[in-house]
Amino acid sequence: MSINRLFGGREPKLEAAVRTRMNGGELRSFFQGIAAEHALDDLQFVCIGTDRSSGDALGPLTGSRLQAYGINAVTGTLSDPCDAETLLAKMRELPEGKIRIAVDACLGAESSVGFYLVAQAPLMPAESVGLRLPPIGDYSIAAVVNRKSPKPYHTLQTTSLHLVMQMADEIAAAAAAAFGRI
């Protein structure tokens, strides 16, 4: 399935990004759509988050898992996170001409916890905690790791590490499968 077909034939812009809610099993179709249009060598995964917060560790966990599958075009791992403090510097270091797939944790509706909001559009890192960072990604995956709350930092700190690890595994395995790494 082509990625354009997956998103209803539209190429959404940031202002009107069409996000599709998917479960872990459906992520493979998202990555298969990307693989149908782009070679793995043309991609750069940007996995945003920190290893200092269970909820926000999704990005670095995903980046490390991708590398374990032999996908090396990854920015943001457990050993070298791409977080709010380092994002701008890391964005300047990204290779030119690569298709970027941004991965980040987010807070959302109670009914969406454990699901992924995917788009053929950038995501806004750290938006759920009120930070203003530049949009990133030609494609994006926002993993809903917990519900929105009036205290987003506290919510991320008390998010289930088990859920976050499971979601990171699902993202990395879906990408690896779509690009023939498993």
DSSP code at position 13:
-
Helices of type H across 49-113: 58-68, 87-93
Q: How far apart are CA 42 and CA 44, in angstroms?
A: 7
Q: How far apart are CA 24 and CA 22, in angstroms?
A: 7
The yes-or-no verdict on residue 56 having pLDDT over 60 is yes
CA distances to 6, 9, 27, 38 from 58, in Å? 24, 29, 15, 24
3-class secondary structure, 16: helix
Q: How far apart are CA 61 and CA 49, in angstroms?
A: 9
- pLDDT at residue 116, rounded to an integer: 98
Strand segments, DSSP code E, in the chain are 20-22, 43-47, 74-75, 99-108, 116-119, 139-147
% of the chain residues with pLDDT over 90: 76
Structure tokens at 144: 């809903």
Residues 35-64, mean pLDDT to the nearest whole number: 96
Place of tokens 């959404």: 12
CATH level 3 topology of 3-178: Rossmann fold (3.40.50)
Give tens-digit pLDDT for 151-181. Answer: 888 888 889 999 999 999 999 999 999 999 9
Give tens-digit pLDDT for 10-36. Answer: 343 444 578 999 999 999 999 999 999
Q: Where are the domains of the chain?
A: 3-178
Residues 6+ apart with CB under 8 A from 27: 116, 118, 141, 170, 171, 174, 175
- pLDDT at residue 128, rounded to an integer: 65
